[in-house]
Each structure stands twice: as structure tokens, then as C-alpha cells.
Amino acid sequence: MPISKTFATWLIAMSLLLSTSPLFAQDSTQKSANEPPNIIYIMTDDHATQMMSAYDDSRAETPNLDRIGQEGIRFRNSFCTNALCAPARAVLLTGKYSHKNGQLMNGPKFDGSQQTFPKMLQRAGYQTAVVGKWHLGSAPTGFDYWNVLPGQGVYRNPVLIEMGESKRHQGYVTDIITDLAMDWLRNRDQQKPFALLYHHKAPHAQFVPALKHESLFTEADVPFPATYHDDYSKRAAPVQKATNRLVPDFIKKWTAWGQRFRKESPGDLQGDELRNWMYQQYVKDYKRIMVSVDENVGRLLDFLDETGLTENTIVIYTSDNGMFVGDHYMYDKRFVYEEALRVPLVIRYPKGIIAGSVTDAFSLNVDYAPTILDFAGVPIPSDMQGRSLRPILEGKTPSDWRRSFYYHYYERPGSHNVARHYAVRTERYKLIHYYSNDWGGEPAWELVDLQNDPHEYQNIYNSPEHQAVVADLKAELNQLREELEVPAE
Ligand SMILES: [Ca+2]
């Protein structure tokens, strides 16, 4: 029948029209469900878990950083694989350990010609940007936009290099990096998904708070960490020879910085009074600097809410490495001890993570690149050594998830006379090999029982009743080194 044929043709034409129309409700929902997520990866520099209140509220108050975990997931056991700035950044970009990406230590320039996850996201249609601390020597590659600090950068009135051009900014570095990150978000191509690496200098030395935060925490002493009186007497020899103590090591730097930024002086203080004075100065400035980070991350989260980006944006917060903030009477990082090894890790993605999730699964910084690629729908290259955290975020931790991992610190000659070492950490033990003699003594092994000795005071490597454990851990260490293709020293 001609009429019904015409009607049928009209019906088909209309349905085709509607199915391609952005105004058609069902299609719009479909598109939203399949939309690739945006990614904001926030990384601070030297922020320790014990200075984030979601992990430990005895010394820290970080409500906005904590909020990411409360609205998403918090990893209770997140670690770096080489606790040092430039190496950790190379691990992030490549999803590979230091011996594979070539960035063993600070100093040498990162080989930016190699495979990195931002390049892969670009090829998949993402627009990519890095703003803030870079610290890899070579110019960023794989980013449509970059605006980074030269080297370590400075806290006040910093210079940043925008796509190769140096510009000085007036103000405080953490505010400026956040402003620049938000400017880029405002001006981005709205038709494409984005990945933004928003990297703070804070709270890395030298410790200079924002002017408006300078007088915070002056009223009372900050509590001392449980390990403050560690005397290292039962540790491996290289630990005893490290020069990372608040007094006498850190106070020399502090005094030099003080000439520019501070009026405080230790005066005639001696002994314990001097030690405690130094700790209070250090921890208070660290806290002041973190107040600025917390405020600015809060500003960014509010911006995402106001611009409707929250729902489809994965927000990751972590630090490149942990830190001794007077723990063991140390400062800096490098050692495989818990305070430097552990990093905060909280991730929010309203579409994919149940708010308030917590996990004990071991995550490593080699996992970030594969995780981001996984969410972006980009196949994970087989030469990346990390594993996607996505199943953990979705509440389905694989039964074969790692229960041990490998760590390797390489820098030599490095600061603080920290001996080069590698280690295996399991749920209960840590076996460390200080394999060189260039720290001023013989190579040494150290075994720690984290269950009976959570503060790692005692090396039990030579204890007769632990020799079976030592043998098992050496086998585990060798297997990990083989799997990861670590070259012999
Ligand atoms: Ca660092």
C-alpha cells in the first residue's frame, strides 16, 4: 500500500534523525555512559602519610585531601619504588621501575623520547597538560600544554617555564600552580577528554610557608612522633652513618635559609633543647606549607563541582615519595623505611568508585600509568611493569594481587650519605640489602619484622631463629629481581 509504505519510510527517516540528534534523551544518556573519564592527577613532593589526617591525625589536618578519599577510595598500603623526586616522576610517566626508564637518580635528564602514558592518551584523543613541579631536566613531552618550575623551583614569586618560555609570577607557588591549572581547565577544548598533571612543589625543602600562613601553629608545640628518640643502635651500620638528622645535619641548612626567610634563631640552645627546637621549627613549617596545599586542592575540587566536572573526572592524590618529618629524628627520604616508603593515595571517581572505600591491597607508583590507561580505554603496553588498580577501585581485588614488592634506591654520590640499597617488603617483613661499600663501610643486610617491630628499630638478620625467614625472603627478592629484569650491580 502506497500510504503505509510512505509512512514506513517516514518512520525510518525520523528514527534515524532522532538517533543522531543530541537532543534525543536516550542517546545523550548513552553518550554520557560511554564518555571517557577526565583525569586529574595531583602529586605533592615529599608529603608523608603521617602528615595527612586521613592516615594519621596526630600532627596533621588536611580536610580537603581527606575528602578525596571519603568521596572515593583510600589505599592504606601505597608505596613508592625509589623514594626520590626525579625517579618517582619517571616511574609515574612510564609505569616502569627506575632501571627500565633510566631515571635512577636526581640530576641526569629524563629521556623524554620513550613511551609515556601522556603520549598514549594524546594518541587516544585526550588533551594533556602538566602544571607545576617537573624536575626531570628535559622539556616535557606528551603534553599539549606545559607550564613547569625550573628544577626545584622556589616558593615565593617563582619563575615557571610555559612551553619553553620563562615567566616570573608574583605570589606563592602553591596558589600560582593551582591558578594556572584552573586557567588551563577553563580554556581547554570542551569536546575532548583531558588529563591534567597538577604537581606541587610543596612540601619539599626549603620550607617557606605562604606569608598568610607564617604565624600558624605558634601557640603550642606539635606532638613528637613515636620514633623521635630512635638511637639506631640495633640497626644496620649504614643507617647509623647516614647524615639525615635534624641536628646536626638539617640545622645547617635551616640556618642558611633563615637568613633569607626567618627571624628565629636557636640562640644558645644546646642538647635536647636544641634538638626539640629544631623539630618544632621543621614540623610547623611543614604543616604551614601543607595548609596551603590543602586549601588549594579544596579550591580545585570546588571548581570541579561548580563546572560540572566532578562526576566524570578521576581525581588522584598522591606524593612522589614519603618523608621523615622528625620520625626517627630524621628528615628527607631515600631509605626504604616506612615513613619514606609509604605515600598517600586517595582516588575519587563518582561513576566508578563507591564513596568511603578503603583497601589494604599493596599499590605501587608503577601502577598509576596502567591504571590511567585502563580507565581511558587504552590498551596497557606489555612492557609497563605496574598493574592497573582499576579492579581494586571497583571493589574486585584480584585473588592473585601482589603480596610483596621490590624497592631500589640508587643515588650515589647522594645527599645524606644514604647507602644504595634494594629491598623486598612483604606483609610482615622487610629484607634490605645495602649492597655497596661507597657509604664508608661494608655491604650489609637488614631484616625487620613489621608485625613485632612496626617502628623498625631492630635488625634481626643475624638472629638464629629467623634464618628460615631470611632464606625465604632472599628467594622472593631474587624472583622479583628476575621478573623485573634488574641488572646485577
Ligand atoms: Ca620528593
What is the distance in A from the centroid of ligand 1 to the CA of 321?
5
What is the distance in A from the centroid of ligand 1 to the CA of 211?
23
What is the distance in A from the centroid of ligand 1 to the CA of 137?
15
What is the distance in A from the centroid of ligand 1 to the CA of 245?
18
In a domain, 15, yes or no: no
What is the distance in A from the centroid of ligand 1 to the CA of 86?
7
In a domain, 479, yes or no: no
In a domain, 456, yes or no: no
Q: For residue 392, what pLDDT is reported?
A: 98
What is the distance in A from the centroid of ligand 1 to the CA of 4?
73
What predicted TM-score, i.e. pTM, was given to this entire model?
0.93
In a domain, 43, yes or no: yes
What is the distance in A from the centroid of ligand 1 to the CA of 262?
24
Q: If we measure between CA atoms, which residue out of 227, 269, 225, 220 comes closest to residue 248?
A: 269
What is the distance in A from the centroid of ligand 1 to the CA of 66?
20
**Going residue by residue through the chain (489 aa), what tens digit of pLDDT does each one get?**
344 444 444 444 444 444 433 333 334 444 566 799 999 999 999 999 999 999 999 999 999 999 999 999 999 999 999 999 999 999 999 999 999 999 999 999 999 999 999 999 999 999 999 999 999 999 999 999 999 999 999 999 999 999 999 999 999 999 999 999 999 999 999 999 999 999 999 999 989 999 999 999 999 999 999 999 999 999 999 999 999 999 999 998 888 776 556 667 888 999 999 999 999 999 999 999 999 999 999 999 999 999 999 999 999 999 999 999 999 999 999 999 999 999 999 999 999 999 999 999 999 999 999 999 999 999 999 999 999 999 999 999 999 999 999 999 999 878 899 999 999 999 999 999 999 998 999 999 999 999 999 999 999 999 999 999 999 999 999 999 999 999 998
How many structural domains is the chain composed of?
1
In a domain, 65, yes or no: yes
> Which structural domain range is residue 373 located in?
35-212+282-403
In a domain, 101, yes or no: yes
What is the distance in A from the centroid of ligand 1 to the CA of 311?
30
What is the distance in A from the centroid of ligand 1 to the CA of 462?
33
Q: For residue 17, what pLDDT is reported?
A: 41
What is the distance in A from the centroid of ligand 1 to the CA of 388?
23
Say which CATH number the domain at 353 has: 3.40.720.10
Q: How many CB atoms lie within 10 A of CB 257?
A: 14
